[in-house]
Amino acid sequence: MKNTKWYLLIVVLLLGAMALVACGGGTTETTEQPVATEAAEEPVEEVVEPTEEVMEEPTEEVMEEPTEEVAAEPTEEMAETGEMTLASDTTMTMAELLGSDPNFSTLVEAMTAAEMAEPTAEAPVTLFAPTNAAFEALDPAMLEELMADPTGDLARILQYHVVNGAMMSADVTADEDAMLDTVAGEPLDLSALNLVATDIETANGVIHVIDAVQVPPTIANAAAAEEIIAAGGSVIRIWADNLRMPALRQVETAFEDEYGVELLLEQVGFGDIRRLISTAGPAGEGPDIIIGAHDWLGELTAGGLIIPVDLADRVSEFAPAAVQAFTYGGDLYGMPINTENVALFINTDLVPECPTTWTEVHDISAELHAADAEQYGFVRMEGDPYHFYPIQTAFGGYIFGRDDAGSYDPTDVGVGDPGSLAAAQWYETMVTEGLQPPAMDWDTMHLWFESGQAAMLVTGPWVTDRIIASGVPFQICDIPGETEEAGRPFLGAHGFMISAFSTQATLAQIFLTEFVATPEVMLAMYEGNPRPPAFLETLEAVDDEYIAAFGRAGANADPMPAIPEMASVWDAWGNAVVLISQGADTAENAFTNAQQQIITAISGG
């Protein structure tokens, strides 16, 4: 009889809810009305014959209805207050499901106005969906301003509610740092969310309902900075990625106390900083300081987005290669933090000593493969010109020549020069002799090395931890030479840059040279992102054999060209390497054609 009593109670409650709605009590914007109607149509008959068997039947039928899932979800509190709830329906997209529910009409209107494209089923997303009440809680003036420019800040606010991938609530709450990377490029702080309803599945992702609109820190701080400045104060805003943020927080209070300046630290995805500064800077909504890569310089300087940094006599405290990387058109545009480059990894069980030439690499590979057809020596990805560059330079090849000042000269393209062709022909020999496995991708290449199936590969510090974890015995070597003493890898450098739109450029400069360029902060920078430090005192203090090995391998490295013409190089150059890998063209033809394609692209043809 327990089931019977429970069922009768539900019927009474549902009928009561219907009566309230009919009398005007409660809200009319609830999808529970049809649910109550369906449930009330059958139970009256069941009460006449209150057998256990009869009771089970309608219960099962109701559970089969998609809308009944809401009763099992943690949304009963919403039901009690008369608020709308959503139910999972994988036959509908997010937009369709939200559009069918009047409680999300403002969100749907905003998404439409912002021209947000629906995700596909193959690339689902997670949406933290604010209710109409959440939008109503915003300052009306702010909401009106957002809707007036829907593809601007409104679009970024909506993107701030979207995370790539379908994440159920268990996945969301299990996130280690309680920060989710969003499509907006800024992490969403889970501690700020009140999840009202969760795990609402659709055809293209998962919806979690929240009761407050979340505003990205960059937008919120732009408004806060305006208020501080209007009140006569000073503000320095910094955009930094999550790896560098802890180091900056170490000096936040000290800088504010000494200079009476509000320091606003805003975490932005590293790659997103470049994208966002191009619009936020000119609009007067951007930061004073950003962290970025040196190969952004061509784009940033062409757009008038950054200004030179003056390190004065402190420039000697930084690695010369890093300073060179941040020098563009004769001016220094960044204070370097760290550098990175690739090196040659060897399995010391199979290759006891570092090879010094690529001919030696070939011979070792041939010997290993002859002894065991499943064993390979040196392996590399099918394309990937970035990792081919150190082989190319070992044979005297290059991408761009240099002018008298040491800057890259886009009129001197070297992909088809004799040294580059010689490197391509060396690789062609590896392919034709069966020493280079076909269709090799990045992950397989590393798995083979970690399992011992491959004995050598060129890779970077970003994989050191996984190779250590694999247990394979290894050593990090300098890039082998050939006609040159050693191959030169590309050098990448990260550093601080100052916005051309900063109204506090002098204070920004002081912050960098007096508060960041210190052994303590630079060591913290290294600890957050273990790469060879550009600050020489920190580089000398770091006791890490692998970092030291990468430093040696990159001692002769060429800074990645930051000139805009580099964008015309990658596709043609990479396609040439792919053609050789697949045996689809000769090395000479592939690289000669790539040379001409690059020249044509640079000239605008």
Report the Cα 159 to chain-centroid distance in Å.
14
Please, which residues bridge with residue 279 across strands? none
pLDDT of residue 149: 85
Kindly state the DSSP code that residue 152 receives in the 8-state scheme: I
Distances (CA, A) of 34 to 15, 104, 473: 12, 18, 66
The pLDDT of 578-603, averaged and rounded, is 97
Nearest by Cα to 129 from 146, 143, 114, 110: 110
Radius of gyration of the chain (CA): 31
pLDDT of residue 84: 58
pLDDT of residue 29: 35
Q: Rounded distance, CA 348 to CA 476, Å? A: 10
- In order of their start, the domains of the chain are 1-64 (no CATH), 86-213 (2.30.180.10), 217-340+492-559 (3.40.190.10), 343-488+569-602 (3.40.190.10)
Q: Rounded distance, CA 567 to CA 562, Å? A: 9
Neighbours of 2 (CB within 10 A): 8
pLDDT in tens, 385-411: 999 999 999 999 999 999 988 899 999
pLDDT of residue 181: 93
Report the chain's mean pLDDT, rounded to a whole number: 87
Nearest by Cα to 249 from 531, 536, 520: 520
**Under 8 Å between Cβ of 235 and 264:** yes
pLDDT in tens, 352-386: 999 999 999 999 999 999 999 999 999 999 999 99
Residue 291: pLDDT over 50: yes
**Under 8 Å between Cβ of 530 and 547:** yes
Residue 577: pLDDT over 60: yes
pLDDT of residue 175: 78
The pLDDT of 415-429, averaged and rounded, is 98
Nearest by Cα to 127 from 149, 96, 151, 81: 96
pLDDT of residue 83: 55
pLDDT in tens, 124-161: 999 999 999 999 998 888 888 888 889 889 999 999 99
- Work out the pLDDT band at 290, boundaries 50, 70, 90: very high
pLDDT in tens, 4-60: 333 333 333 333 333 333 333 333 333 333 333 333 333 333 333 333 333 344 444
From the number of C-beta atoms within 10 Å of its C-beta (0-12, 13-18, 19+), residue 318 rates as: buried
- Work out the pLDDT band at 586, boundaries 50, 70, 90: very high
